[in-house]
Structure 1
Amino acid sequence: MEELKHFSHEQHLLKILEKAETDEIVQKSICYGCGAPVLSEPTYSCKECSIFLHRRCAEVPKDISHAMHPQHRLTLLEKPPNKEGICDCKGCGQSWGHFTYHCNTCNFNLDVSCATEDRKLKHPPHAHTLKFVPKPVKFECHACWERKKDVSYLCTSSRCPYWIHEKCASSPTIKKRKDHDHPLSLAYYLSDDYIAYEFSCDVCDKMIKPNDWNYYCGPCRHFVRLTCIETRDQRRRTVLERWLRRNTIMLPRDNYFKEVGRVRKWEGPLGPRRRFIMRAICGHPVVRLDVREHATARGKEITCEACTEPIVSTCYKRVTSNHFLHDICVMQQTALYHPPNPSCNVPSGKPKVELTSPASTYGFFKCDACNLDSNGYSFNCKGCSLRLDVKCGNLPKKVYHGSHRRHRLISAREYPVPNQTRCKGCGDFVTCLYFKCSRDYCSFVLGYDCALLPKRVKHRWDKHPLVLSFPPFFEQPDKFYCEVCEEEIHPRHWQYRCSECDQSFHPRCIPQASSSRNIKFGITTDVGAHPHALKLVPEGEYRSACSSCKASLYGRRAFKCTATCKFYLCHDCVAERSADTSTH
């Protein structure tokens, strides 16, 4: 015999009545859930207490969303929650003393009949009328696309499979979240204006498909998937999270190594590290000085030989030449472990990568972490060809980034990088090592090259500093265009922006953020075939060409004569001539 344990009668199990039993009591009994006669429909009873409950009343959901009260969910109670045990139903206006759907916040009441009767709904995104299905059923909802058991609305057309959760059908058209300044509007599909940009949810970072319900702010291009709208406000942080932020590198930064120094706690004497630096710069002695005084005397910016970043305070200088090093670069570790690489033959458990200085003044290398060229110091693996620049070598496994304030990011440490992974900064497929969100449900991915972009840069076309800005952009124009290349900037990709002048720039179009940002320009070298020294410049002039191989150098890195002659050499030709000179 079928039995049921029901919240309204927990002291005994309810048992289903046989048809013969139902016939005997049909004239006497009523259902204590809805107050209607038992009649001949399936009914549960408790013989000890002489009570009866329709099966349909026993199966009504414990809480529902209702079109008459969409702001809050209604909870099923055994009877109205007042002393008398009677209330007026807001649906039919009748006095009621049985099962009641109640909102405690608003003191709103619906009798079980009005709440679960054969309700039909004409919903905006669908052409047909929807019928309420009170019994919870597991199915894939056409609104949130989640497969879960719930009460629902089903299309009345026999040829239409449209089926949505009752909670989704009752979603408010306007929703406010504390992590966004403007109210969000409910959209039942992604507008054609937005499909081309492949927008993702600003809470979980999952891609929003064209037929996904979502909440959005049009002026800010801010989107939240329907299933994420109730996710708690991400501005609330626990004590642990605040502690982690104080003890974790925060990106982006104007001075990356200053941030490294803030977090890193150096242990032991600094003597061995300083001795290494002396040895790394060919054994020459170094002196400590204030670069601000030295730079004023020289009249130009001072750059660190190790990391190629500008030096703005005290530093170390080689006595016999103009080679400078940050304090933090002097004190950095000299050996480290690199990401897993099956081709590396160094035994596990031993440091694989050692810090080395450049072999020549003209040499470049490509960092295997960020895929950017550099001519500074590098970490080189003894067991494979892996080579890291100083910044990537010092980058910790866990960071926080301003573009993803909700969660901490962890280094994926995968080598080589898996395909079909897009960076949230530039939108391109990741070709370097990357950070991913520490939460499994969040698909945020950020390449090392974008993670290390500077916070502020300067450009000759704007008198103000340009700030690295992340979407959503509040009160933005319909479209952004780069002031340099004049191409449209994707509204969900990063950009350098001056709000005062209303100017936007691609990061790749700013020299301090381009693919050459880790190269120290201005260094000079001598080649035997030319009487003057050659200086490394970011790009050759219009119609300039290599004087040796005749390759065009316009827009490319080049070595230019420091005198008045228009003599250029490309990097390959400088390396070839320097090699020939060294053999004689």
Structure 2
Amino acid sequence: MEEKQLNHFSHEEHPLILCELQKENDDGSIDQKSAVCYGCQEQILDPAAYCCFRCDFFLHKRCAELPRQITHPMHSQHHLVLLGKPPYSSNSYICDACGQDWKFFNYYCSSCDFGLDVSCAILDQREIKLDCHDHPLRQQRPATFYCNACDMVDEDSSYLCTICPFWIHKKCALRSTTVKHKDHDHSLLLAYSLPSDYRKFQQQCPVCWKTVHLSRWVYYCGPCRYFVHFACVVISQEDEGQLSEDIEYPISGEQDQNVVKLPSSNAAQELIARFLLKEDEIGSSNDSGKSNIEEEIFMDTHRKHPLVLSEKVQNLDEIKSTTSDDDQEEAKALLLLCDRCIEPICSSDDHHYYACVECGYFVHLTCSNLPLELHIPKHPQHPFSLMYNQSKVGLFTCEACHWQTTANFYKCEPCELSICIKCASASMITSSVMHDGHKKHLLTQFQSSDRIRCTACGHIYRGGFGFACEDCHFYVCYDCALLPSTTTQRWDKHPLLLIYPPYFEHPEEFYCVLCETEINPNCWMYHCRECDYSLHPRCILQIGRFRRVKFGRSLNVNNHSHPLTLVPEAKYKSFCGSCSDRRLDWKPAFECESCRFYLCPDCAFEGELIDDEE
């Protein structure tokens, strides 16, 4: 390069030489000398600049050749003169355009004491236009401010609208409109606000698990309904090791043995066997050849007859041969439910169980050995006592999963806190939990008095129990955590799989085929891949209603001559025989099949005749 000298008013000590700042290496790489322009205070990235190496003074070629006098639309009445530094003894002034403190090149009107920093005054080639904003944005020097793009406050170079209060980081303004995020299979598109098509449900960022604001910039994949905060994509790309790991579970060897793996097809019984029983009892319950299992037992919850040790429940073929298609699911639930935990007694597990066939009363072998007193780690103040409702109508609301159930329960009398058997078993987990719904990290127990939103179902609970990954703000209530991985529907031969968002390449909306309402695509659901239909977990009878209440129970009431049986759904156009204005269509009720007489649960509870022998 031919040497070119410039005598510049801002550096009168020595002439400035136009020098190359880039050097090409033998391997083709480029070395760039680090230099900051005195005039605009920006890093010099150009191949050449005006330099005084003796004084370590540098100017962009464009800054060195700025006109000494301009007319600016913000001060059209007078010319503005270029100065090398502010005209004040403090060597600092406030720019009349952007309001920021400045100490370097500026254009100034001495008559009006009006001044602009060089960026606001003339460097129009650094002006950009974004689709999200109506006015051009001008590049500014580094400053601390709130960014309208990423929602963060920090110091950085920026672009500012001098007409309205819109200010964004330079790095945000120059971000690509399409990025590849390591945690997702498809490219993500930039949107300057949450697209209107996806505002029906609240969206959460899978990196930080916080809500995606409607009016903030976001990267998204529409077909998968996958939304990531604008800033979270930037962070995860800069530090992939912390936020976008390939590994699913950081465990192996002996540690793996102490981790509870969910979902499970029979989670409640597995947890009861593991955490509520002594080791010798666990062993006996899983070894059919053990001789120390009692053949008959009496239980306080069923004193009429002894419970006889049985080896196998009636199989499904027998059920099918004696019931109609419509009643098979109900019959299966009636035959295979434990009266203590209201969970199925599965013949495939080859476990013993106790039964009173005459009364239709069944108990898991594990449940027959439940301790009378339980010390729950998350509630160390008092012990919990095992209790049951003598009333066959009596329901209680579990304060962990918030479901009404006829199961036995554990109760802390001083605190009046009652927890069903299934939630009590989950509360006894002292190790970490590995769940397919959150493969990045292990989950730990939590119990909070604050309002917590369950990531799985979207419901907000106060004072609930569950499992959490605090780093990801991921919370799942006991009820969702213990959902089985697969289930079935009586009118479909295919398995229903428990699936978790994001749902890849499924742009259509999800509708539950049972309740016919749209399913929130941010929540867990059951899905048949072969038939491509979905269901809310709580709409599936054997997961929702049948896993909370044991139907088929009979009781006598004081205003009817025949026994009444608890059924999951009363017939169409049925009314309560006591409070006759209460319609019971398709709702749980107590029915007299011979008389077509119904009572709602409240009236049945009031009129129930308790058998003294029970």
> Normalising to structure 2: TM-score of the pair?
0.68
Amino acid at match of 2:185: D
Q: 1:149 maps to which residue?
A: 155
- After superposition, the C-alpha distances for 1:246-268 in whole angstroms (9 at most, x for unaligned) are 53333333211354268659655
Local SS of the residue matching 1:220:
coil
2:557, 2:604 within 8 Å by CA — same for their partners in 1? yes
Q: 2:135 maps to which residue?
A: 128
2:135, 2:163 within 8 Å by CA — same for their partners in 1? no
1:142, 1:162 within 8 Å by CA — same for their partners in 2? yes
RMSD: 4.1
Amino acid at match of 1:166: K
- 2:535 paired with 1:522: no
Distance 1:542 1:404 in 2: 42
2:277, 2:371 within 8 Å by CA — same for their partners in 1? no
- 2:236 paired with 1:236: no
Displacement after TM superposition at 1:34 (Å): 6.9
- 2:328 paired with 1:290: no
Q: 1:534 maps to which residue?
A: 564
2:202 to 181, 198, 202: 198
- 2:340 paired with 1:306: yes
Q: 1:412 maps to which residue?
A: 446
1:295, 1:302 within 8 Å by CA — same for their partners in 2? no
Displacement after TM superposition at 1:35 (Å): 11
- 2:183 paired with 1:183: no
Q: 2:602 maps to which residue?
A: 572
Q: 1:15 maps to which residue?
A: none
Displacement after TM superposition at 1:530 (Å): 3.8
Distance 1:530 1:425 in 2: 44
Q: 1:60 maps to which residue?
A: none
Amino acid at match of 1:254: S
From the superposition, tell whether residues 207 and 294 of structure 1 become closer, same or farther in structure 2 (CA, over 3 Å).
Answer: closer
Local SS of the residue matching 1:193:
helix
2:423 to 383, 392, 396: 392
Distance 1:431 1:512 in 2: 26
1:30, 1:52 within 8 Å by CA — same for their partners in 2? no
Distance 1:159 1:247 in 2: 61
2:538, 2:544 within 8 Å by CA — same for their partners in 1? yes
1:248 to 259, 274, 280: 259
> Normalising to structure 1: TM-score of the pair?
0.71
Distance 1:305 1:526 in 2: 19
- 2:513 paired with 1:502: no
Report how many aligned residue pairs link the two structures: 486
Displacement after TM superposition at 1:292 (Å): 3.9
- 2:375 paired with 1:372: no
Local SS of the residue matching 2:401:
coil
Distance 1:439 1:37 in 2: 43
Displacement after TM superposition at 1:128 (Å): 3.3
Amino acid at match of 1:149: E
Distance 2:20 2:587 in 1: 86
2:192, 2:217 within 8 Å by CA — same for their partners in 1? yes
Displacement after TM superposition at 1:221 (Å): 0.6
1:291, 1:302 within 8 Å by CA — same for their partners in 2? no
Distance 1:290 1:363 in 2: 30
Amino acid at match of 1:225: H
Q: Summarize the alignment of residues 274-353 of structure 1 with structure 2, pairs less than 5 Å apart.
A: 279-281=299-301, 286-292=307-313, 300=332, 301-313=335-347, 314-318=351-355, 322-337=360-375, 349-351=381-383, 353=384
2:401, 2:423 within 8 Å by CA — same for their partners in 1? yes
Local SS of the residue matching 1:513:
coil
1:407, 1:437 within 8 Å by CA — same for their partners in 2? no
Displacement after TM superposition at 1:310 (Å): 1.0
Q: Summarize the alignment of residues 66-215 of structure 1 with structure 2, pairs less than 5 Å apart.
A: 119-133=126-140, 135-150=141-156, 152-155=157-160, 157-215=161-219
Displacement after TM superposition at 1:531 (Å): 4.1
1:214, 1:226 within 8 Å by CA — same for their partners in 2? yes
Amino acid at match of 1:459: Q
Amino acid at match of 2:450: P
Distance 1:290 1:445 in 2: 39
The answer for unaligned runs of 5 or more in structure 2 is 1-7, 22-31, 42-52, 61-122, 286-292, 323-331
Amino acid at match of 1:201: C
Q: 2:514 maps to which residue?
A: 484
From the superposition, tell whether residues 514 and 175 of structure 1 become closer, same or farther in structure 2 (CA, over 3 Å).
Answer: same
- 2:219 paired with 1:219: no
Local SS of the residue matching 1:270:
helix
Amino acid at match of 1:289: S
Distance 1:558 1:282 in 2: 23
Distance 1:121 1:312 in 2: 67
Amino acid at match of 1:389: C
Distance 1:210 1:40 in 2: 40
Displacement after TM superposition at 1:277 (Å): 8.2
2:148, 2:168 within 8 Å by CA — same for their partners in 1? yes
Distance 1:39 1:431 in 2: 58
Distance 1:204 1:21 in 2: 49
More off after superposition, 161-170 vs 306-315 = 161-170
2:341, 2:422 within 8 Å by CA — same for their partners in 1? yes
From the superposition, tell whether residues 580 and 38 of structure 1 become closer, same or farther in structure 2 (CA, over 3 Å).
Answer: closer
Tell me the percent identity.
Answer: 35
1:26, 1:38 within 8 Å by CA — same for their partners in 2? no
From the superposition, tell whether residues 20 and 131 of structure 1 become closer, same or farther in structure 2 (CA, over 3 Å).
Answer: closer
Local SS of the residue matching 2:604:
helix
Local SS of the residue matching 1:508:
helix
Distance 1:384 1:528 in 2: 35
2:248, 2:441 within 8 Å by CA — same for their partners in 1? no
Amino acid at match of 2:174: S
Amino acid at match of 2:499: S
Q: 1:356 maps to which residue?
A: 387
Q: Summarize the alignment of residues 443-482 of structure 1 with structure 2, pairs less than 5 Å apart.
A: 443-482=473-512
- After superposition, the C-alpha distances for 1:291-341 in whole angstroms (9 at most, x for unaligned) are 245776676532111111111132321468543222433455443345878
1:539, 1:557 within 8 Å by CA — same for their partners in 2? yes
Distance 2:352 2:39 in 1: 93
Amino acid at match of 1:534: L
